[in-house]
Chain A
Amino acid sequence: MLRRTLSIAIITALLFTMISGCGFKDIDKRFFVVSLGIDTGSAPGMFKVTLRLAIPASKIESGKALTEVESLEASSIAEAVRLLKSHVDKELDFGHCRVILIGKTLMEDSVDETLTWLARRRDISMISYVGMAEPSAHEVLKLRPVSERYPGNALLLTFGNEGTESSYTVTEYLFDFVRRRKETGKDAFLPIVKMDPDRNSYEVNQVAFPDKKKLRLSLNSEETQLFNISARHFHKSAIAFPYLGTRIVLALTKVSTSVDISTGDIPVVTFRIRAKGYLEQSPPRFMNGNIPKIENHLQTELNRQLEELLYKIRDAGVDPYGFGLHYLAQYFGNSKDFEKWTKAYPYVSFRIRSRIQVDKSGQIQ
């Protein structure tokens, strides 16, 4: 019995020797890619791939995080990455790549090929953040922010709600971007990543709207915030309204929206937005503290701002709000209904119904 057990144990141990040395590489023989940038190359049809590689360090200190930036041009992204492997001493690992930047010129051209490559690679996680880099992904990735504690984490903390939560920063994940590029009646949006003028941090406060093929519109930061609130329900934000030469600032605590689209030849989109918040900045004794009056004033202001934004987006021929998909969902439409919608979309009219609830006027009256 003992001999049998022993022999089984030896055979098992021998089998385990087969496992070693296949694909597993030690962590100190790997280069972790922390961000990836893709641009158009110098010649047409060429891609320029930029990788930001983390250099592991024993000491963790702000500004001491070391990264290496490698970039290369080739006629396809896959080839560029393969070629880059010959420029570094360790195996490239995309498992920790959390930020993907697409250069502006590439966005203006076409990103289909890029997206197929990203979706095909199984090691690039679908929850990476995507952004459009201006002027180019290479320029942005070359930047070394002094506040970085871990290699490449400054850009990572900008998005999502791990680090800073700015209402001007729109967050977009890769899976959502891929989905919106294919979906009927819903177009993509991408945050624009720029370098700060003092060249030590990033500036992400604008949004770009491509249609199914290329870039169509980019918004300024005020409009970006409004888009973030109305489309993404971002509630940690403040909206400013001009009032008799001064400005009233309403800090939001809760946002909810609903969309209703009428049938008919030219559909009417009724966009309802409910927001709750408190006054962060207002003239003293503003409207005698008459809350309903204040709310009324803010509502008309918000209606006007939103209407302007929605018409601007409509005129650019993009649909990042997904009105088309919502139209199909509301009436359980098929491809014929969608054709009708695409024809009608440039002419749809918007009706904004906002409802603002001012909770309290801050700490003072």
Chain B
Amino acid sequence: MSRYFYYHVLYVGLINIMIFVPWTLFQNRFHGAVSAMAIAIVIGTIMAWTTTSLFLRFPEMALSDIVKAYFPRGIALIVNVIGAIIWGFAGILVVYAYSSTIQQFFNPDMNPYLFLLLMTAAGVWGATRCSRTIQFAHEVLMLLCTPLILMILFKAIFSPWLDWDAIRVSLGYVRTRPSLNSLSAALFVFAGYNTLVIFNRLIPANTKIRQRWIIPVFCSFFLFVSFFIPIGFHGTVGVADYLYVWSITSDSMIMQYGFVYRVLYVFLLLYTALSLMFTMNTWHTAMEFIKACHPRYTPQPDQYPVKAVNWWITISFAVLTFAYAAWANDQRNQLTYQSWLIVRSISEVVVLLILVWCFFVSRRKRRSSIRQQTAAQNS
């Protein structure tokens, strides 16, 4: 079962391009991006390890169920609302970033809201499904994406035009002091395990998630790729000029005998799938958080057909996406992404603290109940 967990780790690691993680790092490339990345690898691995282990102590319980069981109702409500905001926003940001990329590179004359409509419609439909369906959809989409991911990665890494000198020069800036912006950006790559806040419901008792070395190895690899490959293609100076830096990077590779010679289109195709996957997953998670606010809510991860409330909640996310698109411009957008990344990193720590607290409370409860039982037997 643990493979379903790793799908989350992998695609969240890859989607960092759509959340402007590389862009944020490039702005700080001479002022602490590389050192922040090194620190993020350590922190991210430790956080992923402990949070995953703690979640496994609460089998078939989402974060909202755990909080409901161990905290007063008011606090549980606050946690649910904050969770819904952070997760819902993640989907909104990715859909917006992807639709503006597409508008830039496919057809700039197109009405920007039209593509947003298509993307949100697909995202809404995906997110309304039950958790189990979404988990299976992840597997299918991940398998479809893998060949494209491998192709682009290999083309990039083995390209003769990749300038290793530039990569080495930027690596030398590991001696600078890390900044909060770049640290939170780099930490995002490791955030895949966070999907357990809802998908832990699907993990039965006594499951072990093995081969956890996958998290540090793959996520560090994705982090290095998304930072160093564009530097290798655009130089240490030129890289900061591009807003959609990975689209331009994939445009710098050639498939000479391919059906289309621009790798850009393969890249955009790949990110259609990944963005939809991410949106589907985050909106579903946010929706589950909102549903958990209801006092008599019981989780049903296998429910079919789904309730109408699923539709209403996710459609409201879609409406919010349009509102965001109407409000955003490039500057506001960058600011939102960066603040979202920082807030998300903080929330990660808060979730970890909540889980540690619940873990100790549950252990004390269990011990006291065992003590009571033995006392009853002795008497």
- Measured CB to CB, the residues of A under 8 A from B are 18-19, 22-24, 119, 122, 125-127, 160-162, 173, 175-176, 178-184, 186, 233, 322, 325-326, 328-330, 332-334
Contact = CB atoms under 8 A, between A and B. Distances in A.
A186 B235 contact: yes
A330 B111 CA distance: 49
B215 to A, nearest CB: 29
B71 to A, nearest CB: 43
Contacts of B168: 329-330, 332
Nearest to A232: B160
Given A19-B114, A23-B109, A332-B168, A125 B262 contact: yes
B254 interface: yes
30 contacts: A18-B114, A23-B107, A23-B108, A122-B108, A125-B262, A126-B248, A126-B251, A127-B251, A127-B254, A173-B252, A175-B251, A176-B161, A179-B233, A179-B234, A179-B238, A182-B238, A184-B236, A186-B163, A186-B235, A325-B169, A326-B165, A329-B165, A329-B169, A329-B172, A330-B168, A332-B168, A332-B171, A332-B175, A333-B172, A334-B30
Given A175-B252, A182-B235, 12 more contacts: A127-B252, A175-B161, A175-B233, A175-B234, A175-B251, A176-B161, A183-B238, A186-B165, A328-B165, A329-B165, A329-B168, A333-B172
Interface of B: 30, 104-105, 107-111, 114, 160-161, 163-166, 168-169, 171-173, 175, 233-238, 241-242, 248, 251-254, 256, 261-262, 264
Contacts of B238: 178-179, 181-183
A22 B164 CA distance: 43
B30 to A, nearest CB: 8
Given A125-B251, A125-B262, A126-B248, A183 B109 contact: no
Nearest to B262: A125
B160 to A, nearest CB: 8
A125 B125 CA distance: 35
Nearest to B171: A332
B173 A334 contact: yes
Contacts of B169: 325, 328-329, 332-333
Contacts of A328: 165, 169, 172
Contacts of B235: 179-180, 182-183, 186
Contacts of B251: 125-127, 175
A175 B107 contact: no
A22 B166 contact: no
Given A183-B238, A334-B173, A325 B262 contact: no
A24 B241 contact: no
A162 B169 CA distance: 33
Given A19-B114, A329-B169, A175 B248 contact: yes
Contact of A325 (B109, B166, B171, B242): B166
B172 A334 contact: yes
Nearest to B254: A127
A126 B160 CA distance: 16
A173 B236 contact: no
For the complex of A and B, list the 6 residue pairs with the smallest distance between their C-beta atoms, beginning with the closest: A332-B172, A23-B109, A329-B168, A183-B235, A179-B235, A182-B238
Contacts of A326: 165
A160 B160 CA distance: 13
Given A22-B110, A175-B234, A183-B236, A127 B262 contact: yes
A176 B160 CA distance: 11
A229 to B, nearest CB: 14
Contacts of B252: 126-127, 173, 175
A332 B109 CA distance: 45
A203 to B, nearest CB: 24
Contacts of A18: 114
A178 to B, nearest CB: 6
Contacts of A183: 166, 235-238
Given A19-B114, A125-B251, A127-B254, A173 B237 contact: no
Contacts of B234: 175, 178-179
Nearest to A324: B165
A126 B159 CA distance: 15
Contact of B110 (A23, A186, A322): A23
B97 to A, nearest CB: 15
Contact of B165 (A24, A181, A325): A325
A27 to B, nearest CB: 14
A237 to B, nearest CB: 16
B341 to A, nearest CB: 26
A182 B254 contact: no
B172 to A, nearest CB: 3
